[in-house]
Chain A
Amino acid sequence: MDLALAPETLARWQFGITTVYHFLFVPLTISLAALTAGLQTAWVRTEKEKYLRATKFWGKLFLINIAMGVVTGIVQEFQFGMNWSDYSRFVGDIFGAPLAFEALIAFFFESTFIGLWIFGWDKLPKKIHLACIWMVSIGTILSAYFILAANSWMQHPVGYKIDKVKGRAELTDFWAVLTQNTALSQAFHTLSAAFLTGGAFMVGISAYHLARRKHIREMKTSLRLGLITVVIAGLLTAVSGDTLGKVMFKQQPMKMAAAEALWDGQKPAPFSIFAYGDVDKGHNTVAIEIPGVLSFLANDDFTSYVPGINDVDKAEQQKFGPGDYRPNIPVAFWGFRWMIGFGMASFAIGLAGLWLTRRKFMLPQHLRVGDDEVPHLVLFKNKALSPKLTPWYWRIATWTLAFPLIANSWGWIFTEMGRQPWVVYGVLRTRDAVSPGVSQGEVLTSMTVFTALYAILAVVEVKLLAKYVKAGPPELTEADLNPPTKIGGDTSDADKPMAFSY
């Protein structure tokens, strides 16, 4: 059989495509749920109409996005059984539980309350309607936690034993699976990155409108909210990334050595800015490095020893028998860098934006603007950003929207490919996890179908988003400003059209 089309290769490609695609929507769903909830809370508390318009605007984009997140998530759950049945047989005892928790606790929460929120504008009193979007937000975060705990178990299996008679892994400590440091740091890192994504999304779209002097009131509020989110989330993403990195250096030394293209252990170990390796010979032909930084990243100590790819490979051969225990080094190395690079770029742009648009009481009189004007971008005391640079700043801010999406995708590619050849680190190899009974033709069919379907849906979704982004916040109606006082809606006019209908 042609190796390029072996069922294992196809199943891996399918998992990669469907997972990265699903994860384009997930972080936006998580963060936009909370940000929309925040804006709606501001509306309920202040009754300023700009908050309601902003809630409706971001809420609409959130809904277009969550629809895709939900439907692509269905595939994720059943893919384990379809393409990875031997994986499911071997670890289902452990891996199935967090998935069941996710469905029964988080999915029901999300999907029920999202229905209430979408259709409830004229059926629920203001505060109950607001509670619904907060419930959705809680649901998205819970959902993320359970699935990340499951993934963390694949990176670092705990709380289990191998039953030799049954030939499977069995759960011994569910609490350990849910609360091991891998799960905690992965959840912390992924959720921070999710908010970085949502913040950048808000910044990008607000900047697009402000550059055109449209919807200024709502977009100024949204821009500031987005910028603050980007900066806080960016900081947390960096901190949690460092924490997660240190955990991985201990638990998956091969992954981190590959992330650095560090072939042989060094003391102190340098951080590589650029490397071009010769995988067959096991060393880099080109490398630009900063001395000592990798030691610090791994162990908080600039002079400590960090094992290299070749060392870990030898150690694993002794432990697990002969074989090649190296992941795809270029993908791990560059994936790691793209993740950090694009993540940090969004953070830097957010920080610059926060400074340039700082509050009016910090500015001299002639640079202050009213509520209905686009803010001046003020560089430092008494000096605005030059007129030449201003349009560029708005443009760059708009592009920022895409940066975290790229960083997220590479983050997953790095962490999942960096684990290879293992699907459960040190316990089960990826090649032993595929469905033996599923033919090459079947996997090829499903991969083709999903890829084609996803491509079509991507076009539809992006066009729809663009349409609603351009349309801007909606005009408010009488019904919007007079929400019902009773559950089920007020009965004054039984034949009045619904506030929202499909």
Chain B
Amino acid sequence: MELHDVWFVLIAVLWTGYFFLEGFDFGVGILTRLLARNRPERRVLINTIGPVWDGNEVWLLTAGGATFAAFPEWYATLFSGFYLPFLLILVCLIVRGVAFEYRAKRPEETWQRNWETAIFWTSLIPAFLWGMAFGNIVRGVKIDRHFEYVGSLGDLLNPYALLGGLVTLTLFTFHGAVFTALKTVGDIRVRARKLARWVGLVAAVVALAFLLWTQADSGDAASLAALIVAVVALVAALVANQLGREGWAFTLSGATIVAAVAMLFLSLFPNVMPSTLNGDWSLTVTNASSSPYTLKIMTWLAVIATPIVLLYQGWTYWVFRKRIGTQHIAADAAGTAH
């Protein structure tokens, strides 16, 4: 196994971490409209991810930075090629971050309602766009001999990629719902479970269709194994949710995301961005990667830093392990007291 293969795996791990963690952040953001019935309930939802969403988002920054360092060609083609979708994602992430931090900083109803609306849309849009982007990466796009993307925006809106967008959207919403059931107490917890059942069923249908399509297009034995794990985990998550085993339901919905992302990367390997114009122009782990020296430096970084990050980030979840209900939300909506 060469270093660039190792880095292909590590990039996959970083994206997996990002989708696992910010997946439920996006889901909770979407649930502020689907589940919460009033302002206190919306605040309960927002506060389940309050202390952790920012740390979860760093997985994206790390995935981006690591792709830049380990596969500069991939980073360059991807971000210049999918220009407008990424612009939209960036705008959403900017507004979303500010919305979380500023929502409670003023007492006026309009102010808070506007930021709440912003949280909903800026969670929903990236949740869809990430699936669309990865759908296009796996399917392949028009890349010329200079590794430049020469397709149009319309080319990115193909049925397969749009279905991919629906997969991430429904899967993240389900993931967010079982996370909510795990992290809340009272009426909202019961309703989160109910909602998770329906969203999970939709997600299962959409995901199965998309993953089978992927398997038919570019799958092999390994990706088939990942597909089976993903589907079984999703069904098991639904069962666990039905039985009220919230910890298991969350673990399994997370496992679904891990297996689905693994399946995409397995069907991608050894390409990182296939060209639909000519197989020779595809970006691969070999022609898109950095020099062995850079990869070695990066490997040292990953080996030393990643476990430490997992340790203290995991500790955060331990510190904030208590469930939240409407009774824990202070009555002064202004948030000015502290």
Contacts and interface: CB of A to CB of B under 8 A. Distances in A.
Interface of A: 56, 63-64, 67-68, 70-72, 74-75, 77-78, 80-83, 85-86, 88-89, 91-97, 99-105, 107-108, 111-116, 118-121, 123-124, 163, 168, 170-172, 174, 435-438, 442, 445-446, 449-450, 453, 457, 460, 464, 467-468, 471, 474-475, 477, 480, 487-489, 495-502
Nearest to B63: A103
19 contacts: A72-B94, A77-B65, A82-B83, A85-B76, A85-B77, A85-B79, A88-B76, A94-B294, A97-B294, A103-B66, A111-B58, A113-B312, A115-B316, A168-B72, A170-B294, A172-B293, A435-B80, A437-B150, A500-B338
Contacts of A97: 69, 294, 297-298, 301
A213 B73 CA distance: 60
B66 A100 contact: yes
B87 A103 contact: no
A112 B312 contact: yes
B54 A171 contact: no
Contact of A501 (B79, B83, B297, B330): B330
A346 B68 CA distance: 39
Contacts of B146: 436
A480 B100 CA distance: 23
Contacts of B65: 77, 96, 99-100, 102-104
A102 B329 CA distance: 35
Contacts of B318: 487-488
B306 A104 contact: yes
Contacts of B198: none
Given A85-B76, A103-B62, A477-B337, 19 more contacts: A74-B94, A77-B65, A85-B79, A85-B80, A88-B72, A88-B76, A88-B79, A96-B66, A100-B70, A103-B61, A104-B305, A107-B58, A107-B62, A112-B313, A119-B50, A120-B319, A445-B87, A475-B337, A501-B329
A95 B80 contact: no
A94 B291 CA distance: 9
Contact of B55 (A111, A123, A170): A111
Interface string B45-75: 0110011111101101110111111101101
B105 to A, nearest CB: 6
A104 B43 contact: no
B267 to A, nearest CB: 24
A-B CB proximity, top 6 nearest: A92-B72, A81-B79, A96-B69, A96-B68, A85-B80, A67-B101
B176 to A, nearest CB: 16
Contacts of B291: 93, 163, 170-171
Contacts of A104: 62, 65-66, 301-302, 305-306, 309
Nearest to A120: B319
B321 interface: yes
Contacts of A70: 54, 97
Interface string B310-338: 00110010111110110111110001111
A99 B146 CA distance: 25
Interface in B143-184: 146-150
A115 B75 CA distance: 29
Contacts, number: 266
Contacts of B23: none
Interface string B89-105: 01101110110111111
Given A82-B86, A108-B313, A92 B47 contact: no
A77 B69 CA distance: 12
Main secondary structure of the interface of A (DSSP, over half): helix
Interface string B125-146: 0000000000000000000001
Given A74-B93, A437-B150, A171 B297 contact: yes
Given A82-B79, A88-B72, A437-B80, A67 B102 contact: yes
B254 interface: no
Nearest to B64: A77
B271 interface: no
Contacts of B327: 495, 497
A94 B295 CA distance: 10
Nearest to A123: B319
A376 B285 CA distance: 69
A168 B93 CA distance: 32
B81 interface: yes
B338 A92 contact: no
B78 interface: yes
A92 B76 contact: yes
Contacts of A77: 61, 64-65, 68
Contacts of A107: 58, 61-62
B113 interface: no
A471 B336 contact: yes
B328 A496 contact: yes
A438 to B, nearest CB: 5
Contact of A502 (B47, B78, B93): B47
B100 A502 contact: yes
B84 interface: yes
A502 B97 CA distance: 12
A121 B104 contact: no
B294 A171 contact: yes
B290 interface: yes
A497 B47 CA distance: 12
A111 B294 CA distance: 27
Contacts of A496: 328
A311 to B, nearest CB: 36
Contacts of A453: 91, 94-95
Nearest to A91: B72
Contacts of B101: 63-64, 67, 502
A116 B149 CA distance: 42
A356 to B, nearest CB: 33
A105 B150 CA distance: 36
A172 B94 CA distance: 36
Contacts of B148: 85, 436-437
Contacts of A108: 55, 58, 62, 309, 312-313
